[in-house]
Structure 1
Amino acid sequence: LRGLVLQALRNAWGICVSHGQLPPLPVPQKIVATWEIISLGRQPVPEYFNFAHDVLDVWSQLERAGHRPPIPAFWWVNSMGAEVKGSFEELGGQSRKAANVLGGTCGLQPGDRMLLLLPQLPERGLVSVACMRTGLVFMPGTSQLTAKDILHWLQASKAKCTVASEEVIPAVESIVSECPGLKTKFLLSPHSQNQWLSFQELFQTTSAEHSCVETGGQEPMAIYFSSGTTGSPKMVQHSQSSLRIGHTLCGSSMSGSFSFLPMLTSVSFSIIQPLTTYPITTLCSAPTVYWMLVQKDLKRCKFEKLLHCLIGGEPLNPEVLEQWKVQTGLMLYEGYGQTGIICANQKGQAIKPGSVGKGYYPMMSRWVISNWFNKEPVSVQHWSKFLMCVVKAFVVLSAPFKSSNPEKLTLELQDHVKKSTAPYKYPRKVEFVKELPKMITGKIKRNVLRDHEWG
């Protein structure tokens, strides 16, 4: 391991190796412990680090050497019961072939950016690992992005390549003339069409021999776009080390376990059924998913292997947290999404006047300002159960209240907020709507509500 040995494991292993060579294999527990030490700031981040070479290939080597039994590196299922799973060795071989398609066939260079417009399919992870091996910067998207979204992502990122599923082609073709930097278009299909290259066709004929590029720990690895709930989506860049070493504690591959990828069709299948059927120990999802799950009768479900439940991306209503604990016996722990931000002193750094305190970086889009009082939207949501937009609340009525007198109900809601929390937090205006505009992840589009109010 290049950076791992040169930096983090030099004292532990007492060896130094060059790029492309693997040292004598340590026990798996020592590898996991070392990544955790680095993640906690007790050892410096490696100068050179590549997740594919320094993590995935190491687990593959351990399996081949008999130091640990083979387990799936990934496990994908769909609503029809079809499964695709592969070991770390299989993932390594297939990702090397995919890397040759990207770097050899099409001549993409380290640092070039690639937009992934794919649903939750096995190829999505395969292409991501191939990007790591070639030094390409991948940008995870979804096949549900609109033409407007795709145009913004391509222009903002200056992407040179995209890999897309067939259903996205019309949207891409409608805006591709405005993206002259987009040189290569891969189609997830057995056959090429028009100016789209068949990824599967090239993959079948390319070599499985590939040497991973050397990447610095601080070099860019991926770019995530924010949800765009308050405006145009913003780019958030992750380095080779920040994305993978920084996610050690919940990153399955870092610890040599597998990632389970359900093909999302409905909550009842894509979440509940796998949790009761497969050996899943950690569930990480958006708060909206947990809200949908607690609407079911989870007490009848047996999540025998589930140990840890995480959320990220936005705050969670305390009632959902409590209902989840009552129905499953498990706590929900809040983390950060891929585009979250935090400002804090580094571990061990002395605190002095002027030091940045630990907490969320104050963004205007995350705070409600009314009559010179600041209040975080989630605190209002927890009490009044509706979204505050400066001095206005947009309310979706449940069935028992749909026939209520709007003026009377407005006064009741305002009075409820005044009694339940600080009086100044009550909404000066209330508008009843059929539904709130949401992203595909369930996050509320605050910018749409803002534009609705102010134009």
Structure 2
Amino acid sequence: MLKVGKRLLQLHHGKVQLHHGKVQRHYGQFYINNLEFIFKRSLKECSKILATRFSIGQHSALRKSLKSHQPIRSFLTAVSATGFNDYELGRKHFELEIPEYFNFVEVLDEWAQKEKNGERKTRNPALWWINDEGKELKWTFQDIQSKAKRFANILEQVCRVNKGEVVMLILPRVPEWWLVNVACLRTGTVLCPGTTLLRAKDIKQRLQDAKATCIITDESVAPFVDQVADECPELRSKLLVSQVGQTRIGWLDYRGLNEEASEDHKCVSCKSSDPTCIFFTSGTTGLPKMVEQTQSYGLAHVITGRYWLDLTSIDIHWNTSDTGWAKSAWSSFYAPWIQGSCIFVHHTPKFDPCKTLKILDKYPVSTFCAAPTIFRMLIQEDLQPYNLDSLRHVLSAGEPLNPEVIEEWRKRVGHVIREGYGQSETVLLCGSFRCLPLKPGSMGKPAPGYDLCIVDGEGNELGPGHEGDIGIRVKPNRPVGLFTGYINDPERTAAVFKGDFYLTGDRAMKDEEGFFWFLARGDDVITSAGYRIGPFEVESALIEHPAVAESAAVSSPDKIRGEVVKAYVVLASNYEVKDEENLKEELKKHVQNITAPYKYPRKIEFVKSLPKTVSGKIRRIDLRNNEWAK
């Protein structure tokens, strides 16, 4: 029975029926070793023996699950596939040595070699891509290695991009997005991703600020680039990655160049401290800040991949993040591939809960990560028709997830949703790891490698139960994965470092057991459906309309998106308003045309004046509090 059981567990879709429950294929030798007890011993014996191998908080659930003969999968979800089953021990023994020279390509090359030698022990590809039209693509690590070499040669030889220069990438979830990421690593160029929702004004600002010498995008964004390219003196080349075979005057054609490109390419040597990517992150009082990360950033995502995502080389991981955000670098690139996992991608123009459930039913996705908005929408659907048994680990990040949603998902699917917290400036900072008892509403505990504290505005540490800023200890040792600073903005960089800490800008408290509880953002940034939106960006777009004299954008509660943008607008004295409702719709469309559509205010209220400080600054906090008190 044991040999048969182990063999079935190792098969792709193998299942073992046991005491009216079922055990699916599991992940990693750790699971298989523990499951030997199940096949060798009675349920009573299993309960006693397994209890010694789980944290105290899991004993009760484990015994209850065995006693009730529920699916064994229900208690295995509390076990880490990577062996992170003791939180304190894992943190104590965490070490991450950073060599002087490092390029993440070394990690990908190692997995390609293991794949070639048969050491990866799975038939899963490195990238598994599907779209709405039924097209499917599977690339191995070896495929990615050869294809990225072609792209690297295009960057160096045709686009004339040199090491250290910035390449702006604006592509949807197409396979080439991953190739560009690897090609930039190979060439030592600095990747600067952007969402396809950006418009001409946004693109101009990013190209100019980042001093990008090359931009790579598709036919949907290229017209916006052409509107502003002449105002971006550093821009030397524009590469079009068309999904329908289009070409465009003034643009290099990737499809044609790829056919002629060589697969012979030597990866550049990089220091761990060399810049590797720039993320634009929204701010409160100005335009988005440029966050710089170095080559060691990819290595630091072992914290994200091994400890939070709990990935192994036989996992199939689906992260739904937009390719323009740091979360895609987290969970759609570095973290899965440092663990040798398969990255699953669904290319679709718009999220659809039914479509997502059908995919989870059809494909053997084992780990799934999405923004809270997605889970709020998923639980609105009838989940009964869908088989979600391939899932073993479900995660959420981007904003706090309602405890009610976590409980509803647990009741209907059988999994808890594990939350994670971090920023564009960091890797994972805090999480409800599998080895921890779940406290719905909590951010969990600090990640291995990070000393997270609650501090006051001057960087003084506060005790349990006190509200304060979330701070990362940076002295005497600066943690790996923390950004180098905001490019060309020493003042804002200096402002986030107080005493021995980097302040994240978020407010929280820590309880007596060391769990962190998110309270609010320390600034006015709005997080809607996973998108971070700076009020300044919305207000700047509104002021361009002749009806607007002044405005203030704040967050407003929303049942599905968590929060949305609401604009308080003071109308120009000389502007005649015939229909307020029509004007509101006109202003919404105006913002959508001026800047990325996700930033537009879904709610608008006309007011005679805005609350201000003595020095004349808008007190958005008063308006925000008013919204959330309703």
Q: Fold match, TM over 0.5?
A: yes
Which residue of 90, 111, 114 maps to 1:59? 111
Distance 1:440 1:185, change over 3 A: closer
SS in 2 for 1:221: strand
2:424 match: 339
Which residue of 330, 347, 365 maps to 1:263? 347
Shift of 1:123: 0.7
Matches of 1:345 and 1:254, distance apart in 2: 17
Tell me which amino acid in the other structure corresponds to 2:281: S
Distance 1:155 1:304, change over 3 A: same
Deviation sequence 1:168-211 (CA, Å, 0-9, x none): 12211111122111111000134642211011111110100011
Matches of 1:305 and 1:397, distance apart in 2: 29
1:107 maps to 2:250: no
1:132 maps to 2:185: yes
1:225 maps to 2:277: no
Q: Is the 8 A contact 2:372 2:397 kept in 1?
A: yes
Matches of 1:444 and 1:131, distance apart in 2: 33
Which residue of 490, 499, 519 maps to 1:376? 519
1:25 match: none
SS in 2 for 1:160: strand
Q: For structure 1, which segment, 130-139 or 278-287, has the greater mean C-alpha deviation from structure 2 after superposition?
A: 278-287
Matches of 1:58 and 1:38, distance apart in 2: 26
Matches of 1:280 and 1:303, distance apart in 2: 9
Matches of 1:91 and 1:185, distance apart in 2: 23
Q: Where does structure 2 lack aligned partners over 5 or more consecutive residues?
A: 1-27, 30-81, 84-89, 310-334, 431-445, 463-467, 472-495, 497-502, 509-517, 523-534, 536-551, 561-583, 612-617, 619-630
Tell me which amino acid in the other structure corresponds to 1:233: P
Aligned length: 374
Q: How does 1:323-402 map to 2 (within 5 A)?
A: 323-339=408-424, 347=449, 360-361=470-471, 376-377=519-520, 394=556
1:406 match: none
Shift of 1:66: 2.5
Q: For structure 1, which segment, 106-115 or 313-322, has the greater mean C-alpha deviation from structure 2 after superposition?
A: 313-322
Tell me which amino acid in the other structure corresponds to 2:519: E
SS in 2 for 1:144: coil
Question: How well do the aligned residues superpose, as a CA RMSD in angstroms?
Answer: 4.4
SS in 2 for 1:72: coil
1:162 match: 215
Shift of 1:336: 3.1
Shift of 1:301: 2.1
Tell me which amino acid in the other structure corresponds to 1:66: G
Matches of 2:137 and 2:117, distance apart in 1: 25
Shift of 1:124: 0.7
Tell me which amino acid in the other structure corresponds to 1:226: T
Q: Is the 8 A contact 2:469 2:506 kept in 1?
A: no
Matches of 1:345 and 1:58, distance apart in 2: 26
Tell me which amino acid in the other structure corresponds to 1:107: R
Q: Is the 8 A contact 2:170 2:194 kept in 1?
A: yes
SS in 2 for 1:214: coil
2:305 match: 248
1:179 match: 232
Which residue of 84, 92, 97 maps to 2:150? 97
Tell me which amino acid in the other structure corresponds to 1:218: S
1:119 maps to 2:262: no
Distance 1:48 1:183, change over 3 A: same
Matches of 1:110 and 1:296, distance apart in 2: 49
1:307 maps to 2:392: yes
Deviation sequence 1:252-289 (CA, Å, 0-9, x none): 21121110110123323552222111121111222211
Deviation sequence 1:14-34 (CA, Å, 0-9, x none): xxxxxxxxxxxxxx99xx89x
SS in 2 for 1:314: coil
Matches of 2:107 and 2:413, distance apart in 1: 33
Deviation sequence 1:109-141 (CA, Å, 0-9, x none): 111111111111011111111111111111221
Q: Is the 8 A contact 1:229 1:443 kept in 2?
A: no
1:207 match: 262
1:74 maps to 2:217: no
Distance 1:168 1:277, change over 3 A: same
Shift of 1:318: 2.2
SS in 2 for 1:193: coil
Q: What TM-score comes out, normalization by structure 2 length?
A: 0.52
Q: Is the 8 A contact 1:220 1:239 kept in 2?
A: yes
Distance 1:270 1:126, change over 3 A: farther
Distance 1:46 1:444, change over 3 A: farther
Deviation sequence 1:74-102 (CA, Å, 0-9, x none): 01111121111111111100000100000
Q: Is the 8 A contact 1:229 1:445 kept in 2?
A: no
Matches of 2:305 and 2:376, distance apart in 1: 27
Q: Where does structure 1 lack aligned partners over 5 or more consecutive residues?
A: 1-27, 369-374, 380-388, 399-432
Matches of 1:220 and 1:447, distance apart in 2: 40
Deviation sequence 1:151-180 (CA, Å, 0-9, x none): 221122111111010011221111112211
Shift of 1:340: 5.3
Distance 1:274 1:41, change over 3 A: same
1:237 maps to 2:295: no
Q: Is the 8 A contact 2:239 2:252 kept in 1?
A: yes
1:318 match: 403
Distance 1:448 1:199, change over 3 A: farther
SS in 1 for 2:220: helix
Deviation sequence 1:43-99 (CA, Å, 0-9, x none): 4223222112x1111111112223245431101111121111111111100000100
Distance 1:79 1:348, change over 3 A: closer
Matches of 1:62 and 1:288, distance apart in 2: 38
Q: How does 1:37-56 map to 2 (within 5 A)?
A: 41-52=94-105, 54-56=106-108
Deviation sequence 1:370-399 (CA, Å, 0-9, x none): xxxxx93489xxxxxxxxx99x9846699x
Shift of 1:42: 1.5
Report the structure, 1 or 2, having the larger strand content. 2
SS in 2 for 1:335: strand
1:283 maps to 2:368: yes
Percent of residue pairs identical: 34
Tell me which amino acid in the other structure corresponds to 2:192: M
2:251 match: 196
